[in-house]
Amino acid sequence: MIAMAWTAPSFVGGTPVIDYRVSWDQGGSNFIVLATGITTTSYSTPANLQPMVLYKFKVEARNAYGYSTSFSNEVTIRA
């Protein structure tokens, strides 16, 4: 199971957040989108994570100008 929660960004380029996109990297340095159109500050989905493997997750906020480009929204975990 993947479950995460985040805090809405305090600065979004002067326009409100429309929604969020959650992506993950399974070790190949290539993020794959798990979900788009998330309108809450949490996400969960069933997943089979391999023990002791590092996974990187990224949450991006979208406003009228598009998705955020900051990398401060990434986190790496070891299952």
pLDDT score for 40: 95
Q: Locate 20 and state its tokens.
A: 């969020």
pTM: 0.85
- pLDDT > 80? residue 12: no
User: What DSSP designation does 5 have?
Assistant: E
Instruction: Report DSSP state, residue 49.
Output: P
pLDDT (0 to 100) of residue 72: 64
User: Using one digit for the tens of pLDDT, what is the confidence trace for 24-77?
Assistant: 987 777 889 999 999 999 999 998 888 998 899 999 999 888 888 765 678 888
Q: Are 54 and 28 in contact (CB under 8 A)?
A: no
Q: Any bridge partners for residue 59, and if so which?
A: 22
Question: Which domains, and CATH codes, for the chain?
Answer: 2-78 (2.60.40.10)
